[in-house]
A = this chain, B = another copy of it.
């Protein structure tokens, strides 16, 4: 079933059918209707490969998401999809796992799908100049940037929160409540990614408050995995009774940690305050509601798209936007309990 079959069926040429299919004006209304009905009757669907092959440019943008299951990305992807459509582009979505390298994928996508631009959602922070050269179309990093890399800031765009500063703010919030023994739950302290940045923000806050970092209060759970976050938090709770607050670098880790604290008989927030960063939907439903710095998820998506489309239409150049978070006051933070009184 090809366009030729439809043409023969209608007694017209393939170009006429093609015109109807692509809404070109120069077709007699009568013929247009006839073709459309033939398409329905024959259940004809154009071959995308052939179409892609012939079209040299196709107004499509790519979105590569690293770490599919992450609930934090869901609303961002939604926002991007809507914004891309509104801008008159088509979106090619590609999910990869956290083990895959997004740049390998990007090379594939851009060259085989003739993309005009690219959005990377979640990715490494340490691209090299070499690697970036492989991406020969404009791209914007969403929710992350090149914080550890060496590439030129004018070669790409980014939209994200200031991870280190926001982590600082979260921990600062705990310190203001009188906490000084503050544990941190991160996936890693030195993986050149968001985890490392937020961990550094934690250290910054301690330092500014004149608190000596305590290595025994640093929990690394490896990946963004609730199971290991739970285990490691239980373990620390058994080993150490003295910490009065916990900063988790993401909502999901915080939720696992709250459960672990509970299972060790420690109440949140009375015995241990908890704060996190992200603001996923689920953390609205924990008991108590998680106190967290919510990222402007929709805005992260829409800004990424508009920066990209502006570049493509010549309206602007590469830029790096840092958006702010909003402190969502839940019920997991309270002033430190004074045991001496």
Contact = CB atoms under 8 A, between A and B. Distances in A.
Interface of A: 1, 43, 45-50, 52-53, 68-69, 71, 74, 77, 93, 95, 107-108, 111-113, 134, 226-227, 230, 255-256, 258-259, 262, 281-282, 284-287, 289
Contact of A1 (B111, B259, B281, B284): B111
A128 B282 CA distance: 37
Given A48-B49, A49-B50, A49-B52, 8 more contacts: A45-B108, A45-B112, A48-B113, A69-B71, A69-B74, A226-B281, A226-B282, A258-B285
Nearest to A44: B111
Contacts of A284: 226, 259
Contacts of A285: 226, 230, 255-256, 258-259
A111 B255 contact: no
Given A226-B285, A285-B226, A53 B43 contact: no
Contacts of A108: 45, 48
A258 B281 contact: no
Given A43-B134, A68-B74, A48 B230 contact: no
B258 A48 contact: no
Contacts of A107: 43, 45
Given A47-B53, A49-B112, A111-B45, A255 B226 contact: no
Each complex incorporates copies of this chain amounting to 2
Nearest to A54: B49
Contacts of A50: 49, 53
B282 A258 contact: no
A229 to B, nearest CB: 9
29 contacts: A43-B107, A45-B107, A45-B111, A45-B112, A47-B53, A47-B111, A48-B49, A48-B108, A48-B112, A49-B49, A49-B50, A49-B52, A49-B112, A49-B113, A50-B53, A53-B53, A68-B74, A69-B74, A93-B95, A95-B95, A226-B282, A226-B285, A258-B285, A259-B285, A259-B286, A259-B287, A259-B289, A282-B282, A287-B287
Contacts of A281: 226-227
A86 to B, nearest CB: 16
Contact of A287 (B112, B226, B262): B262
Contacts of A45: 107-108, 111-112
A258 B284 CA distance: 12
Nearest to A282: B282
A337 to B, nearest CB: 20
A230 to B, nearest CB: 7
Nearest to A134: B43
A258 B287 contact: yes
